[in-house]
Structure 1
Amino acid sequence: MAATGKFDLDGRVAVVTGGSRGLGREMVLAFAEHGADVVIASRKPANCAAVADEVRARFGRRALPVGTNVGNWAECDALTDAAYTEFGRVDILVNNAGMSPLYPSVDQVSEALFDKVLATNLKGPFRLSAAIGARMAADAGGAILNISSVASIRPNAAVLPYAAAKAGLNSLTVGLAQTFAPKVRVNAIMCGPFRTDIAEAWTPDMADYMSGLTAQRRVGEPAEIVGAALYFVSDQASFATGSILRLDGGTP
């Protein structure tokens, strides 16, 4: 299927972590619709395969599912190798995989939980960006997009390890934009509350609270990330790097 419109990604290869559900799935489908071949990575290979089948059926693009725990350094390297073996190149990397487990109080956060949250939200994006970004910079260039969170600048007691990791991701965004300049652009979307897998753990009171935080008095739907994501990974953002966009419905 030929790509159309200003967000033309025809001939490009996109790697999306956390790509089988939620925001990641929406970005995978949007990139494929606009002409990209896609690598779909998440911890559950069957879910990745299902999205890959959907991409092929709906858009006729090549799609590679890769079961990956991005919190594991070696699995990040294996994902990188799989993408380059299959396609010979990567033009777009989206570090979207994330997690924020609930905990009863900050003093009951275990070392294992803390390490897992930091590994998924920060260590994995660092390793993938370093490995893939270096290859992009040595080749034709590319775009890296990090999916951050408004919690990185508005932390609260319920999400402290997650907030700290996302603050680190913001820092990586700015630093890597300098590291891989001028051929690789690195940007981030700082998301507010979205109706994704994390929202499934919300109680009704929490859901009402999260909706009430935003100026729009609702949480975002996963598809509402697509416009911003397409902008950052396409040539329309050719002069944008080191940028962090708030996409949070007006969260104060």
Structure 2
Amino acid sequence: MSSNSFSLIGHVALVTGGTRGIGLESVRALARAGANVAVVARTAETTKEVASAVEREFEVEALPVVADLGHDDEIPGIVSAVVDRFGRIDVLVNNAGAAPPFGPLIDVSARAFDKIMAVNVRAPLSLTRAAVAAGLGSGGGSVINIVSAAGLKAEPYMGLYSAAKAAMISATRTLARELGPAGIRVNAVAPGVIRTDFSAALVGNE
């Protein structure tokens, strides 16, 4: 549990895609600061393992929530599970994302378009809406959208992914203005290529 000046003791954080890469490190950082955390991912076994490991290491409560963010009807259940367990949500980290199909934008299939937009745009917006409706932070919460530097510039052969991340950057700015008066901060973090399982196809064997 945290003993430093940056303390989240008594707060509750929900992190999507929380079992690996940036999501896992976000879970660990929040738990290190004392927050109880909800770890959301698709694989039941891995999600439970991460939650158990976080509880042991940081002496906080960690709730595994198994869900597929590509299915919009699963969003309300995620928020309900967290509120039922902890009674509140203070921090929402929208990290989960679908890997981009590589190739010319003009060749993107309707199926690939729907998948990328569903997971990378619709899901974080739907989850934010549900969390706010559930009283996110009781007027003092925080939403953190993990986007990408690819959303800030044109990336050949990654056009659909770049477009999705650009959409979330724009949505973040809009939500910040709309939710700010209610005391809810909305920010985006746009990392470049980080060596994770998600980016393995980009970094190769370097």
TM-score tier, shorter chain, comes to: over 0.9
Q: For residue 6 of structure 2, what is the aligned residue in structure 1?
A: 7
Q: Which residue matches 1:215? A: none
In structure 1, the residue matched to 2:130 is 131
Name the SS for the 1:191 alignment partner: coil
User: How far apart are the structure 1 equivalents of 2:86 and 2:163?
Assistant: 35
- Alignment match, 2:84: 85
Q: Cα 1:176–1:134, aligned 2, differ >3 Å: closer, same or farther? A: farther
Quote the offset at 1:23 in angstroms.
0.3
Q: Give, as a single letter, the amino acid of the residue that structure 1 aligns with 2:171.
A: L
* Structure 2: distance between partners of 1:155 and 1:17: 26
Normalising to structure 2: TM-score of the pair? 0.93
Q: Is the 8 A contact 2:79 2:134 kept in 1?
A: no
Runs of 5+ unmatched residues, structure 2: none
Partner of 1:162: 161
RMSD across aligned C-alpha pairs, in angstroms?
1.7
Give deviations 1:45-97, integer Å, cap 9, x for gaps.
Answer: 21111110111110111111111111221111110111111111000000000
Contact 1:35 1:61 in 2 (8 A): yes
Instruction: Give, in angstroms, the shift of residue 203 of structure 1.
Output: 6.3
Question: For residues 37 and 157 of structure 1, what CA distance do their matches in structure 2 show?
Answer: 40
- Answer yes or no: is the 8 Å Cα contact 2:148–2:191 preserved in 1: yes
Query: By how many angstroms is 1:137 displaced?
Result: 5.7
Q: Which moved more, 1:136-145 or 1:31-40?
A: 136-145
User: Which moved further from structure 2: 96-105 or 123-132?
Assistant: 96-105
CA contact (8 A) 2:103 2:158 kept: no
Aligned to 1:216: none
Judge conservation of contact 1:37–1:63 (CA < 8 Å) in 2.
yes
Count of equivalent residues = 205
Deviates more, 1:144-153 or 1:66-75: 66-75
Alignment-derived partner of residue 53 in structure 2: 54
**Native 8 Å contact 2:89 2:137 kept in 1:** no
Asked if the contact 1:14/1:39 (under 8 Å) is kept, the reply is yes
Hey, what does 1:199 align to over in structure 2? 199
SS in 1 for 2:190: strand
Change (3 A) 1:7 1:69: same
Amino acid at match of 2:194: F
Deviation at 1:18, TM superposition (A): 0.5
Distance 1:4 1:188 in 2: 27
2:143 aligned residue = 144
Secondary structure of the residue aligned to 1:157 is coil
- Aligned partner of 1:42 in structure 2 is 41
Contact 1:71–1:124, Cα closer than 8 Å, also in 2: yes
Counterpart of 1:237? none
Give 1:27 deviation, angstroms.
0.7
Does the 8 Å CA contact 2:141/2:184 hold for their aligned counterparts? yes
Contact kept, 8 Å, 1:16 with 1:38, in 2: the verdict is yes
**What secondary structure is seen at the aligned counterpart in 2 of 1:8?**
coil
Instruction: Work out the CA distance in 1 between the residues paired with 2:91 and 2:136.
Output: 12
Structure-2 residue corresponding to 1:120? 119
Unmatched 5+ stretches in structure 1: 209-252
Give how far 1:31 is off.
0.6
Residues in 2 aligned to 1:66 and 1:33: alpha-carbon distance in whole angstroms: 20
Residue in structure 1 matched with residue 97 of structure 2 by the alignment: 98
Contact 2:18 2:40 in 1 (8 A): yes
Query: Helix, strand or coil for the counterpart of 1:40?
Result: strand
Give the Cα–Cα distance (whole angstroms) in 2 for the partners of residues 137 and 51 of structure 1.
24
Distance 1:138 1:86 in 2: 15
Within 1, Cα distance between the matches of 2:34 and 2:170?
31
Residue by residue, what CA displacement relative to the aligned partner does 1:10-41 show, whole Å, maximum 9, x if unpaired? 00000000001000000101111110000000
Give me the TM-score of the superposition, normalised by structure 1: 0.77
